[in-house]
C-alpha cells in the first residue's frame, strides 16, 4: 500500500472520528482537538503546498467559524451551537479534502510556467499605476478635509469617491508589475514598497483593511513562486499577518479619531477571535437559533447570487443571501447603512440543511480546482488565481455572490484589458520593426 494511500486513510479516519465524536456528544474540547488534527493531517497530505486550495482555505474555514466556540470556552460569550458548528466545519473541510484528494493528482513541487510578459514596455502599466495612486491620494485628501471620521460617513456625505473598483484595479496592476519586476531584475521591487505603503495608508486612513491584507497575500504568493523560500518562513509571515488584522481594526481612521486608551486593555490573541473572525459563526448561530422562523430556499439563493453579480446595481439591485439575512434579523443595522455580513456555511444550510453545506463547498472546490490547474499554465492565469484567493477566503463571512461578482466584474474585465493592451503593444512593436527594416534597405 502506497504512502499516499496510507496518509489518505489516516486523514479520512480523523474526519470520521470528528463526526463520530460530534454525534456521541463528547466534550467540546475533545471534538476541537480531533478537528484540528484532521485539519493538520489534511494539510500534510497535500504536503503543506502553500498554493494548494485545501492548504490555504481550510484553516480559514475553521478560523471564521471557531471563534464563538473559543469565546464560549473562555466564558466571554455564551453559545449553544458548538456541536452543530463543529459538525458544519467538519463537513466543509471534509468536502474540500475528499474532492481534492480524488480530483487533484499533483500536490507539491508544482511547475508554474511563470515567465516575463512579452510586451514592448511596461511603461503604460506603470502610467496606470501612477494614475491609480493619484486618484486614491485625492480621495484620502477629501476624507481628511471633510471633518468626518469613518468611510461610511464619507460615503453618506457624498464628499468622497466610491473607489472600491479602483482599489481592486490598483491591486491587480501592482501584482502584474511586481511579478514582472521580480522576474526580470530578481530584486526587491519599487512596486513592492510603494504598493505596500499605499495599501497601508488606505487601511489606516480610510479603514479599508482588506486592501492591505490582499496586498500581503498577493506578495506572499508571488514571492513563493519566484524565490522558492522555505515554506515555514511564509507560514510565519501568514500567522503574524493574522495578528495584524485586529491591530488594523483599532488603527483604522487613525488620523480622524481619538486614540486615547485604545490599547490599554488590548489582548492580541483574544482580539483575533473577538473581531474579524467572529461574524460568520455568530451569523450561523442566529440561523440555527431561529430555525422554524424561516423556510429552506432549496437553491433559490444561487439565482439571487447570480442575478446580483451579473446585473449592474444601477439597473436593478437584487437581494442576495447577505441582504436577506440582514434585512430579516438586523433591519435596524441596515437602516443606518451597515450590516453584519453572513456566512458561507449558513448559506448552504438555509438551502438544504447540512447537505447544503456539503453542496456549497463542493461547488467552491470545483471552481477553485479549475483556477488552480489553470494557474500552472500561464502568467495571466497565475495572477488571476492568486488575485481570487482573498475572495475565496472572504466569502466565509459572506455568500456566493461575494466570489461571483469579483470574478466577473474584476478578474475577467482586468485580464481582458491587460491582454488587449499587451496585444496592441506587440502589434505596434512588430509594425515599428518592419518600418525600421524597410528604412534600412
Residue 46: Cβ-neighbour burial (10 angstroms; 0-12, 13-18, 19+): buried
**8 A C-beta contact, residue 245 and residue 276:** yes
Map out the domains of the chain as residue ranges: 3-103
Neighbours of 134 (CB within 10 A): 10
Residue 290: Cβ-neighbour burial (10 angstroms; 0-12, 13-18, 19+): exposed
Q: Round to the nearest angstrom and report the end-to-end CA distance of the chain.
A: 70
> What is the pLDDT at residue 433?
66
pTM tops 0.85, yes or no: yes
> What is the pLDDT at residue 120?
43
Query: pLDDT tens digits, the chain, 441 residues: what are they?
Result: 578 888 888 888 999 999 999 888 889 999 999 999 999 999 999 999 999 999 999 999 999 999 999 999 988 889 889 999 999 999 999 999 999 999 866 544 455 656 555 544 567 778 888 899 998 888 888 777 776 666 655 555 555 556 778 888 899 888 888 887 777 766 666 778 888 888 888 888 777 888 888 898 998 898 888 888 888 888 888 888 887 777 776 666 555 555 555 555 556 667 778 877 888 999 999 999 999 899 999 999 999 989 888 887 777 778 889 999 999 999 888 887 788 889 999 999 999 999 999 999 999 999 999 999 888 887 888 889 999 999 999 999 999 998 898 998 888 888 888 778 777 777 777 776 666 666 666
Alpha carbon distance 92, 302 (integer Å): 18
> What is the pLDDT at residue 375?
86
Query: Crossing angle of helices 209-227/190-206, nearest 10°?
Result: 160
> What is the pLDDT at residue 213?
87
3-class SS letters over 205-264: HHCCHHHHHHHHHHHHHHHHHHHCCCHHHHHHHHHHHHHHHHHHHHHCCCCCCCCCCCCC
**8 A C-beta contact, residue 103 and residue 133:** no
Amino acid at each position: 500500500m502506497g504512502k499516499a494511500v496510507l496518509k489518505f486513510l489516516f486523514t479520512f479516519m480523523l474526519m470520521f472520528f470528528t463526526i463520530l465524536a460530534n454525534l456521541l456528544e463528547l466534550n467540546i474540547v475533545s471534538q476541537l482537538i480531533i478537528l484540528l488534527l484532521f485539519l493538520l493531517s489534511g494539510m500534510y497530505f497535500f504536503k503543506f503546498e502553500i498554493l494548494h486550495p485545501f492548504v490555504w482555505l481550510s484553516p480559514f474555514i475553521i478560523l471564521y467559524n471557531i471563534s464563538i466556540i473559543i469565546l464560549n470556552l473562555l466564558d466571554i460569550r455564551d453559545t449553544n451551537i458548538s456541536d452543530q458548528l463543529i459538525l458544519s466545519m467538519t463537513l466543509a473541510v471534509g468536502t474540500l479534502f475528499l474532492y481534492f484528494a480524488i480530483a487533484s493528482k499533483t500536490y507539491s513541487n508544482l511547475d508554474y510556467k511563470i515567465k516575463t510578459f512579452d510586451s514592448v514596455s511596461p511603461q503604460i502599466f506603470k502610467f496606470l499605476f501612477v494614475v491609480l495612486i493619484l486618484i486614491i491620494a485625492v480621495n484620502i485628501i477629501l476624507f481628511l478635509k471633510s471633518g468626518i471620521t469613518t468611510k461610511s460617513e464619507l460615503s453618506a456625505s457624498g464628499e468622497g469617491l466610491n473607489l472600491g473598483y479602483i482599489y481592486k484595479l490598483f491591486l491587480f496592476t501592482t501584482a502584474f508589475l511586481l511579478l514582472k519586476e521580480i522576474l526580470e531584475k530578481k530584486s526587491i521591487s519599487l512596486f513592492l514598497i510603494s504598493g505596500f505603503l499605499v495599501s497601508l495608508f488606505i487601511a489606516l486612513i480610510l479603514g479599508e483593511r482588506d486592501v492591505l491584507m490582499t496586498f500581503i497575500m498577493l506578495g506572499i504568493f508571488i514571492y513563493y513562486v519566484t524565490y522558492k523560500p522555505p515554506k515555514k518562513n511564509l507560514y510565519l509571515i501568514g500567522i503574524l499577518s493574522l495578528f495584524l488584522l485586529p491591530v488594523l481594526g483599532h488603527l483604522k481612521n487613525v488620523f480622524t479619531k481619538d486614540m486615547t486608551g485604545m490599547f490599554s486593555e488590548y489582548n492580541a490573541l483574544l482580539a483575533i477571535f473577538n473581531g474579524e473572525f467572529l461574524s460568520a459563526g455568530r451569523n450561523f448561530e442566529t440561523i440555527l437559533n431561529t430555525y422554524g422562523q424561516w423556510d429552506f430556499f432549496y437553491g433559490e439563493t444561487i439565482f439571487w447570487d447570480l442575478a446580483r453579480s451579473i446585473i449592474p446595481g444601477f439597473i436593478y439591485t437584487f437581494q442576495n443571501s447577505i441582504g436577506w439575512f440582514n434585512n430579516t434579523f438586523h433591519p435596524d443595522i441596515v437602516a443606518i447603512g451597515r450590516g453584519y455580513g453572513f456566512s458561507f456555511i449558513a448559506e448552504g444550510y438555509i438551502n438544504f440543511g447540512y447537505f447544503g453545506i456539503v453542496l456549497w463547498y463542493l461547488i467552491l472546490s470545483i471552481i477553485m480546482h479549475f483556477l488552480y490547474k489553470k494557474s500552472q499554465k500561464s502568467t495571466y492565469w497565475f495572477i488571476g488565481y492568486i488575485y481570487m484567493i482573498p475572495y475565496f477566503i472572504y466569502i466565509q463571512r459572506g455568500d456566493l455572490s461575494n466570489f461571483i461578482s469579483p470574478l466577473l466584474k474584476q478578474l475577467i474585465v482586468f485580464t481582458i484589458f491587460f491582454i488587449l493592451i499587451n496585444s496592441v503593444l506587440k502589434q505596434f512593436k512588430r509594425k515599428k520593426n518592419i518600418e525600421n527594416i524597410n528604412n534600412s534597405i
